[in-house]
C-alpha cells in the first residue's frame, strides 16, 4: 500500500487559501492572461479556468510535505491552464511549487530540477525561433525560464544557504561538545593531581602523628610520652606548612599567599632525616644527575609515600632508599621489612599506591610494588622507572 500523504502544515494551508481566493478574485472581475480569440486557447470561456486553479491550490497543501507529488500534479494543471484563457495566480502558485520542490525535496531532485528547467527554457527559446524566425519567439523561452528555471534556481540557492547554516550549527555543537569534554577531562585530571598532592604532602605527617599519639596514650613512661609529643608537634607544624603550600598553589599568584616551590631531589636528605626522627631506620643512596622537574617531583613523592607506608606498616628493620640513573631512566627503589609491626600502626586506604602508580604512568614510566624474597628475609619493594629524556609526557 502507498504511504498516505502527510498532513498539510498551517503555513501551506494559508498559502493555498490565499492563492485560491486571489485566483477567484481575478476570475470574478474577468481578468485573464490571454483573450479567448487566441488560436491556442482550446477551452475558451470563464469556467474552464477554475479547474487548473483549484488543482494548483490543492497542490499548495502538499508544497512541503510532498513537494515532488505537488509538482507532478501541478505541471499538468499548468498545461491545462495554458489552453484556457488562463489565470495569473495559477501561474504564480506553480512557481511556488517549483521553488518548494527544490527547497524541500530530496537532494537528488534539488539538483536535477534546475538543470531540467534550464534545458527546457533554452529549448523553449531556440526551437520556436528556429521554426518561426521571429525575434519575438525568444520571449517564449524567457517566460518559460521565469516560470520554471527562476524559481528552481532560487530554491537551490536558498537550500544551499540553509544546508551551510545547518552544517555550521552542527560544527558549533560538536565544537562545544568537544570543549565540554576537554573541560571535564581537565577538571578530572586537576582533581586527581590535587588529590595526589594533598595525600603525599600531608599523609606522612598525619601518619607519624597517629602512631606517636597512640604510643603516648598507651605507655605510662613520662619520658617516652614527652618524646612522642615532641614528634607529634614537629609533624603537626610540618603538616601545617605543607597545607599552606597547597593553599598557595590553589590561590592566584596575585593574592596574599604565594605558591611555594615544589620539592626537589635535593630535599631527599631532609625527608630521610624526618623519617628517622619518626622512628624509621632509613638509608639513602642516590646516584643521579639533573632531571626534568616533573620527573624530580614524581620521584620525590614516590620516596615520600614509600617512607610513609613503611612508617605505618613495615616490620622492624632497615628501610633502604635507592635512586639510580642509567640509559635515560631514573629508577627509584624503596625496600622495607615485610611483616607485622610490633608497635602502634596507622590505618591505610590504599590511595598511596594508586597515586604513585598514576605519577609514573603520567610520565610514561613503570611502577610496581609488592613483597619479594631477599637474603635477609621477606621485604616489601616499591620500584618505579621514570624516563628522564627531554620532552613533555603525553
Residue ranges and CATH numbers for the domains of the chain are 10-174 (no CATH), 263-394 (3.30.565.10)
What is the Cβ-side half-sphere exposure of residue 86, based on CA atoms within 13 angstroms? 17
Q: Helix H segments across 251-373?
A: 268-277, 293-313, 351-362
CA dist 22 and 8 (Å) reads 20
Which residues of the chain carry a pLDDT beneath 70?
1-3, 196-231, 233-235, 237-262, 340-351, 390-394
In the prediction, which pLDDT does 354 show? 83
pLDDT per position as a tens digit, 202-252: 666 666 666 666 666 566 666 666 666 666 766 676 666 666 666 666 665
Q: Can you give the pLDDT at residue 247?
A: 66
CA distance 275 to 228: 14
The Cα–Cα gap between 46 and 356 comes to: 94
Q: At what angle do helices 150-218 and 107-132 cross, to 10 degrees?
A: 170
pLDDT of residue 223: 67
Cell of 147: 516560470
Residue 93 confidence (pLDDT): 96
Please list the alpha-helical segments (H only) found in the chain: 10-29, 50-60, 67-82, 88-104, 107-132, 138-144, 150-218, 222-250, 268-277, 293-313, 351-362
Residue 371 is classified by DSSP as E
Give the pTM: 0.55
Neighbours of 63 (CB within 10 A): 26
The single-letter DSSP state of residue 146 is: I
Cα 306 from Cα 311, distance rounded (Å): 9
The whole-angstrom separation of Cα 358 and Cα 131 is 87
pLDDT at 5: 72
Are 235 and 278 spatial neighbours (Cβ–Cβ below 8 Å)? yes
> Other C-beta atoms within 10 Å of 78: how many?
23
Closest CA to 369 of 305, 287, 325: 305
How many Cα atoms within 13 Å fall on the side-chain side of residue 292? 13
Q: Are 262 and 293 in contact (CB under 8 A)?
A: yes
What is the reported pLDDT for 116?
A: 93
What pLDDT sits at residue 166?
A: 92
The pLDDT value recorded for residue 257 is: 47
DSSP 145: I
Query: What pLDDT was estimated at residue 78?
Result: 93
- Residue 25 CA to residue 53 CA, distance in Å, equals 12
Cα separation, 105 vs 97, in Å, equals 11
For residue 97, how far is the Cα from the chain centroid?
Answer: 41
pLDDT at 205: 64
C-alpha cell at 60: 499548495
Contact 239, 205 (CB under 8 A): yes
Amino acid at each position: 500500500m502507498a504511504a498516505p500523504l502527510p498532513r498539510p502544515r498551517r503555513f501551506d494551508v494559508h498559502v493555498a487559501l490565499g492563492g485560491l481566493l486571489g485566483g477567484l478574485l481575478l476570475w470574478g472581475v474577468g481578468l485573464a492572461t490571454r483573450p479567448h480569440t487566441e488560436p491556442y486557447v482550446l477551452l475558451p470561456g470563464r469556467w474552464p479556468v477554475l479547474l487548473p486553479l483549484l488543482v494548483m491550490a490543492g497542490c499548495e497543501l502538499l508544497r512541503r510535505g510532498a513537494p515532488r507529488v505537488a509538482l507532478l500534479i501541478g505541471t499538468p494543471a499548468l498545461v491545462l491552464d495554458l489552453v484556457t484563457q488562463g489565470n495569473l495566480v495559477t501561474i504564480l502558485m506553480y512557481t511556488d511549487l517549483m521553488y518548494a520542490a527544490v527547497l524541500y525535496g530530496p537532494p537528488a531532485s534539488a539538483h536535477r530540477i534546475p538543470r531540467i528547467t534550464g534545458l527546457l527554457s533554452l529549448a523553449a527559446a531556440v526551437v520556436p525561433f528556429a521554426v518561426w524566425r521571429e525575434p519575438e519567439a525568444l520571449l517564449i523561452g524567457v517566460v518559460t525560464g521565469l516560470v520554471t528555471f527562476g524559481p528552481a534556481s532560487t530554491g537551490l540557492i536558498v537550500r544551499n544557504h540553509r544546508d551551510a547554516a545547518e552544517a555550521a550549527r552542527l560544527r558549533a555543537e560538536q565544537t562545544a561538545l568537544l570543549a565540554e569534554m576537554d573541560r571535564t577531562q581537565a577538571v578530572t585530571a586537576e582533581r586527581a593531581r590535587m588529590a595526589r598532592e594533598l595525600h603525599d604532602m600531608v599523609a606522612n605527617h598525619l601518619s607519624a602523628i597517629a602512631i606517636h599519639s597512640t604510643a603516648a596514650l598507651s605507655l605510662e613512661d613520662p619520658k617516652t610520652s614527652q618524646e612522642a609529643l615532641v614528634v607529634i608537634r614537629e609533624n603537626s607544624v610540618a603538616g601545617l606548612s605543607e597545607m599552606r603550600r597547597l593553599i598557595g598553589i590553589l590561590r592566584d599568584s596575585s593574592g596574599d599567599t604565594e605558591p611555594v616551590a615544589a620539592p626537589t631531589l635535593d630535599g631527599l636528605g631532609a625527608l630521610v632525616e624526618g623519617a628517622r626522627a619518626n622512628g624509621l631506620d632509613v638509608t639513602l643512596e642516590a646516584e643521579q644527575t639533573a632531571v626534568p622537574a616533573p620527573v624530580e617531583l614524581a620521584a620525590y613523592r614516590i620516596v615520600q609515600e614509600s617512607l610513609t607506608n613503611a612508617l605505618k606498616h613495615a616490620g622492624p628493620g632497615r628501610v633502604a632508599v635507592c635512586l639510580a640513573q642509567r640509559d635515560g631512566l631514573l629508577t627509584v627503589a624503596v625496600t622495607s621489612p615485610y611483616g607485622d609491626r610490633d608497635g602502634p600502626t596507622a590505618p591505610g586506604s590504599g590511595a598511596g599506591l594508586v597515586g604513585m602508580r598514576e605519577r609514573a604512568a603520567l610520565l610514561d614510566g613503570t611502577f610496581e610494588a609488592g613483597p619479594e624474597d631477599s637474603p635477609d628475609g621477606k621485604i616489601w619493594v616499591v620500584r618505579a622507572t621514570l624516563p628522564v629524556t627531554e620532552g613533555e609526557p603525553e
